Structure 1
């Protein structure tokens, strides 16, 4: 009985070993193709870089993309106006003070806190 169990376990070990070898051989086949593809892409990229020619820049390339610069107009000086006449008009204005009227009549006093007389209820007597 012991020998039969050894044979069964030996056959199981051989099956597992064959499966692992098959997966290992598959893995080794996949790795070189991946490296070859990477080299292919790298070769294409390097070839395109070597064939690239930078376009020449012309002086008129910026037209339509950049606005023309124009100097802004200088501001007008306040001294250019008729300051003397404006000053006389300002000085001749009549001063208005709050609470005083221009006619000279005494102001009407308004009582804002006037209290309403309390109405006595007729039923409280």
Structure 2
């Protein structure tokens, strides 16, 4: 294709040169239109050929089995009414009340410590 284009452009140039060399006294305006030479783009041709040859793989129903977990509904939470409320209430009522500052039997705790105990000051050496 390329060689045909080059031959065609050579022949048209040779024809114009002969006409001008012939000694015509009439001036002619000639316009030579170069034919567009399509240069083959090998990369583009390979790419298009590979795109046309590509076949999409068939999708099967079990393709996602190894990649997707099965969905299971979460278990319903246990409601407070189902718990043993009667026994819990009974154990709460029989438990001893703890009061800060008293011993377990309800007797006041011994006060062996003083709250505002001052530490002895060290004597500073005045030498």
Q: Flag whether TM exceeds 0.5 (same fold).
A: yes
Unaligned segments of structure 1, at least 5 residues? 1-31
After TM superposition, the score normalised by the length of structure 2 is: 0.57
> RMSD over aligned Cα, in angstroms?
2.8
| Larger RCO (CA under 8 A, 6+ residues apart) | 2
- The CA distance in 1 between the partners of 2:39 and 2:80, in whole Å, is 80
37, 43, 46: which one aligns with 1:44: 46
70, 73, 76: which one aligns with 1:74: 76
Q: Which runs of structure 2 are paired with 1:1-125 in the superposition (5 Å)?
A: 36=39, 39-109=41-111, 110-117=113-120
Instruction: Flag the structure with higher helix content.
Output: 1
- The CA distance in 2 between the partners of 1:120 and 1:47, in whole Å, is 101
After TM superposition, the score normalised by the length of structure 1 is: 0.57
SS in 2 for 1:91: helix
Query: Which runs of 4 or more aligned residues in structure 1 lie more than 6 Å from their structure 2 counterparts after TM superposition?
Result: none
Shift of 1:99: 0.7
How many residues were matched structurally? 88
